[in-house]
Amino acid sequence: MNLDLSIYRSFRITETIKAQFRAEAFNASNTPHFGNPRSDVSSTNLGVITAVQNTGREGIDERFFRFGLRLSF
Q: Please report the pLDDT score of residue 28 as a whole number.
A: 87
Least Cα distance to 20 among 57, 69, 73 occurs for 69
Q: Could you state, in order of their start, the residue ranges of all structural domains in the chain?
A: 5-72
Cα–Cα distance, 52 to 30 (Å, whole number): 13
DSSP state of 42: T
**pTM given for the model:** 0.61
pLDDT in tens, 10-46: 999 999 999 999 999 988 888 777 878 888 888 788 8
